[in-house]
Amino acid sequence: MYATGYHRASSVEEAVKLKGQHDEGRYLSGGMTLIATMKQRLAAPTDLVDLRHIADLHGISVDGRNVRIGAATPHAEVAGSSALRAICPAICDLAGKIGDPHVRHMGTIGGSIANNDPAADYPAAMLGLGATIITDRRWLSADDFFAGLFETALEEGEMVTGVTFEAPEKAGYAKFANPASRYALAGVFVARRADGVRVAVAGAGADGVFRHSGMEEALAASWSPDAVAGAAVDARDMLTDMHANGEYRANLVKVMAKRAVIAAG
């Protein structure tokens, strides 16, 4: 790691101001990817503005079926929230299987979605739930927010402050983990809502997290595990690396979709 300045913000305003003072600075919200990258000297921000200690960014609020999760809420808190589990257990189960206990107590939902690692789990949940991403400037639909591998709609200095969504009728997540990193080789989040079915895929797509319209239509027509069997997943649209080629990932997408529907019940 190169020498780096560390700043602990206590409010969103202070964080934005601090970030504005350092052109080559980065927000830090758990650092589960950023710190590891910096230790390998692959990233070299001059300054880090830590968001984890901003009280306003913490916590989960549930109002009826409406959910809001603060950006600095760690995965373990989402996994352990009984209020959330009562209306949307799928997101609790997803959060409980991110990384290991250390990661789940340091990593945050805001950090995860702002980084948009193609193999991360939360982007699939946000896209599958049709969530809204709240920043210090605006509200963005998940469909508009995620923009490719490690790319989001966030502008320079813009900061995720939370996410909000309405709990779906049913939802489920299934992932197949990379044997080495335990990131998703394929993770599929399915949700049935009054306005339709959403299927979002993490880990597998060559352009990052994506929705699969074929499976959405199939499940809208018939909400059953077997419904996705006929959907086409094109291996050419998949990531290929030494851990899994496109054919294998395409297969995993279908198998995980089926299992996500089973998990959703």
Partner 1 sequence: MGVEGIGARVTRKEDKRFLTGKGRYTDDMSVPGMKHAFFVRSPHAHARIRSIDVSAAKAMPGVIDVLDGKQLQADGIGNLICGWMIHSKDGSPMKMGAWRPLAHEVVRYVGDAVAIVVADSSAEARDAAEAVVVDYEELPAVTESLVALEAGAPQLHPEAPGNLIFDWQIGDPDATDQAIASAAHVTEIEIHNNRLSPNPMEPRATLGIYDTGDDHYTCYTTSQNPHVARLVMSAFYNVAPENKLRVIAPDVGGGFGSKIYIYPEEIVCLWASRKTGVPVKWVSDRTEAFLTDAHGRDHVSKVKMAFDADHRIIGLKVDTIANLGAYMSLFSSCVPTYLYATLLSGQYAIPAIHANVRTVYTNTVPVDAYRGAGRPEATYLLERTMETAARELGLSPAELRRKNFIRSFPHQTPVIMNYDAGDYEASLDAAMEAVDWKGFSARRAEAETRGKKRGIGMSCYIEACGLAPSAAVGSLGAGVGLWESAEVRVNAVGTIEVLTGSHSHGQGHETTFAQVVADRLGVSIDSVNIVHGDTDKVQMGMGTYGSRSGAVGMSAVVKALDKVEAKAKKIAAHLMEADESDIVIENGELKVAGTDKTVPWFQVALAAYTAHNLPSGMEPGLKETAFYDPANFTFPAGCYIAEVEIDPETGKTEIIQFVAADDFGNIINPLIVEGQVHGGLAQGIGQALLEDVKYDRETGQLLTASYMDYAMPRADDLPFFKLSHQNTPCPGNPLGVKGCGEAGAIGSPPALMNAITDAIGDNSLTMPATPMKVWQALQTAH
Query: Which residue ranges make up the site for partner 1 (CB under 8 A)?
Result: 1-3, 40-41, 176, 179-181, 183, 242-245, 248, 251-252, 255
Minimum Å gap between C-beta 41 and partner 1 is 8
Q: Which is nearer to partner 1, 41 or 236 (by Cβ)? A: 41
Q: Which is nearer to partner 1, 110 or 246 (by Cβ)? A: 246
> Across the beta sheet with 47-50, what order do the strands follow?
5-8, 47-50, 25-28
Sole residue written with tokens 């080789």? 185
Minimum Å gap between C-beta 229 and partner 1 is 11
Q: Which is nearer to partner 1, 149 or 220 (by Cβ)? A: 149
Q: Which is nearer to partner 1, 47 or 166 (by Cβ)? A: 47
What is the spatial distance between Cα 254 and Cα 229, in angstroms, rounded to a whole number? 7
Sole residue written with tokens 């009054």? 194
Minimum Å gap between C-beta 204 and partner 1 is 13
* Phi-psi label, residue 175: left if phi above 0, alpha if psi -120 to 50, beta otherwise: beta
Q: Which is nearer to partner 1, 164 or 240 (by Cβ)? A: 240
